[in-house]
Amino acid sequence: MRKWPTFPHREGTYSKQAHADFPEQAIYEREAGREGFFGPATHFHHQHAPTGWSEWEGELKPRAFNFNQVQQAHHNSPWSVPDLLHNNECKVRVWRLHEAMPQLARNGDGDELLFIHQGSADLYCDYGHLHVSEGDYVMIPRSTNWRLEPESPLFILMIENTGSAYALPDKGIVGQHAVFDPAVLEAPSINDKFKAQYSEKRTQVALKRDNKVNVITYPFNPLDAIGWHGDLSVLKLNWRDIRPLMSHRYHLPPSAHTTFVGNGFVVCTFVPRPIESDPGALKVPFYHNNDDYDEVLFYHAGDFFSRDNIEAGMVTFHPAGFTHGPHPKAFQAGREAKKTFTDEVAVMIDTRNALQHSQAASDVENTEYVYSWKTGS
Q: Would you say 324 is a known binding-site residue? A: yes
Q: Which of 43, 117, 129, 251 is catalytic?
A: 251
Strands of 28-33's sheet in order across: 41-46, 28-33, 287-290, 323-324
Cα–Cα distance, 281 to 253 (Å, whole number)? 13
Q: Would you say 126 is a known binding-site residue? A: no
92-95 contact pairs (CB < 8 A, 24+): 92/157, 92/158, 92/159, 92/160, 92/296, 92/349, 92/355, 93/157, 93/158, 93/160, 94/67, 94/70, 94/155, 94/156, 94/157, 94/158, 95/154, 95/155, 95/156, 95/158
Nearest to 360 by CA among 177, 124, 91, 61: 91
Q: Would you say 357 is a known binding-site residue? A: no
For residue 357, indicate whether it is catalytic. no
Beta-carbon contacts of residue 85 (< 8 Å; ≥ 6 apart)? 91, 92, 296, 315, 317, 349, 355, 356, 357, 358, 361
Strands of 345-351's sheet in order across: 258-261, 265-270, 345-351, 294-301, 314-318, 63-66, 365-366
Binding residues for Fe cation: 288, 294, 324
Binding residues for homogentisate: 324
Active site residues: 251
Binding residues: 288, 294, 324
